Every structure is written in structure tokens, then in C-alpha cells.
Amino acid sequence: MRRFANVALASLAAVICFFASAPARADIAEELTRIAHTEVRLLPAATHADSRQSCAELAIDDQPPPAQLIHANWAEVDDLLRSWRIMLWAVVLPHPGFTWRDDAPGFVLSWPGSGPFGPVTACTRTGGGFHEHQPFRFVFEPGLVVTDEVSLFVRPGLRYLWHRSTSSFGWGIGVGSTLEWTNMDRFSASVSPELLAQYGKCCSPGYTMVAVRLDEFILRSEGTAITAITANVGLTYW
């Protein structure tokens, strides 16, 4: 893209110089040549903030200078396409994991979806756009557990994730309830706290999330309470 812009500017310089007077030709040619050979940064250095007020000020300054407007627009398109790809993979790819319950191991596959809300606590501005981090998450996680039997479950929950704008690591906690059906005729419900760790560049979409949770199934159609420890890992959009 930069090579194409340089060629276009050089062509424009040749056309203008053909019709301009000799002194004007020299000045115009010199200025256009300087612009053509200026290093244009498609993705300017990111700017970070870690407070609500600072992010509000940073959002106001989100418009790139005119000299970089075309390049910034292309960067925004690249950022949008990247976000779509991440969202597609986050929806399709399961989060694999393991569980331990009733002194027996099991295998877990789940597809957690989440939506952020709450005050902005961090933000990042790059040539590709302005991204914010909101710490609270609504979570809805369907999946299945394979032990000596196959159980289907859904897990609604709430999460809090702390992630600084300059860090690649975020940490969090959550709470929810796992609603589980075994052979579609046995129902269980749990109280389920969890610990979270995520890896990814704040505050753009796309993180690797590790979740470790404790399920205390206190409501069961069979009447006997059980405890399960589950850990999984996968790609999340938020």
C-alpha cells in the first residue's frame, strides 16, 4: 500500500510539474517528493490508559491527523477483519478441559459466551481503532461432561476480570450455577465459584482464557450432594 501511494504521488508530481512554471515546478516537485518518501506508520504506537477519565480523554483524541487518515482507515479495516475472525473462532472452537468428581476423572467440552458491561477501567488506542476494557461479564456456557456417563449442562454466571492496558495478562473471579442433566432424566444444580486467568493484548478482542471452578452440587434428583473440580482453556472474544 505504501509503495502504491509513493507511485501515485510521483505520478502526480510529474503531471503538475508539466503544466507549472519552472520555479513552481521545482517547489512542487521537492514537496511531493518529500511526502512520498516520508515514513508513514500504518499503525501508530499504541496509547494506553487505565482509568475511566483518562479513557474518556483518549477517546476524544481518537481521530488520526489528516496526513495519516487514509492509512488509519485501512488499519481500521484490518482491525475489523481481525475481530470478525476472532469472533468466528471463539464461537466455533470448544473449550476443552478435565473434571474430577466422585473420585473419578472426566472430560469436558464447553462453548462459553460472554458480554462485557460496567465502567471502563482500561483502554488502548492504535491505528486500528479505540478499544475499551469493561471488567464485568455476563456468561452463558453450554457444554457436556463425559465420565462413565454423558451429561449436558448450561452454566449462567457473572465474572469480574482485571486487566491493565499495558499488560498481556488479566486475572479474575466469577460465580455461577451449573445446571446439569444426565441421560436427560437426572437433574443437578450447583453453586459454582471460579478463578480466571487470561492472556492477550489489552484491550483488543481475542484472549486465551483459563478457568478453574468448584461445583458443589447441592440440588440433585438423586438426593446425594457431590463436589466437582473443573478446569478448561480456550479462546474468548472479550
Task: Write the CATH number for 228.
Answer: 2.40.160.20
Q: Is the domain of 197 the same as that of 101? A: yes
Apex 86 CA angle, 80 and 90, nearest 5: 145
pLDDT in tens, 110-129: 999 999 999 999 988 776 57
Task: Give the whole-number percent of the chain exceeding pLDDT 70.
Answer: 68
Tell me what pLDDT residue 218 has: 87
CA dihedral defined by 33, 35, 36, 40, rounded to 10 degrees? 160
Q: Is the domain of 87 the same as that of 14? A: no
Higher pLDDT pick, 22 / 107: 107
Residue 50 lies in a domain: no
Find out whether 162 and 154 touch, Cβ atoms under 8 Å: no
pLDDT at 26 over 70: no
Helix residue spans in 136-206 (DSSP H): none
pLDDT in tens, 61-99: 545 444 444 444 556 666 777 788 889 999 999 999 999
Helix residue spans in the chain (DSSP H): 2-19, 22-36, 52-60, 69-92
Domain that holds residue 27: 1-39
pLDDT at 183 over 90: no
Pick from 9, 11, 50, 1: which is nearest to 31 by CA?
9
Average pLDDT in the chain: 79
Residue 49 lies in a domain: no
Helix residue spans in 61-102 (DSSP H): 69-92
pLDDT in tens, 142-169: 999 998 889 999 999 999 999 998 899 9
How distant, in Å, are the alpha carbons of 41, 44, 201, 204 from that of 167? 23, 18, 7, 12
Tell me what pLDDT residue 33 has: 52
Q: In the chain, how many domains are there?
A: 2
Find out whether 121 and 52 touch, Cβ atoms under 8 Å: yes
Q: Is the domain of 18 the same as that of 121? A: no
Higher pLDDT pick, 226 / 71: 226
With a CB cutoff of 8 Å and minimum separation 6, the contacts of 148 are: 104
Tell me what pLDDT residue 72 has: 46
Apex 131 CA angle, 128 and 135, nearest 5: 160
Residue 66 lies in a domain: no
The pLDDT-based confidence of 5 (bands split at 50, 70, 90) is very low
Pick from 154, 197, 191, 189: which is nearest to 176 by CA?
191
Q: Is the domain of 125 the same as that of 232? A: yes
Tell me what pLDDT residue 213 has: 97
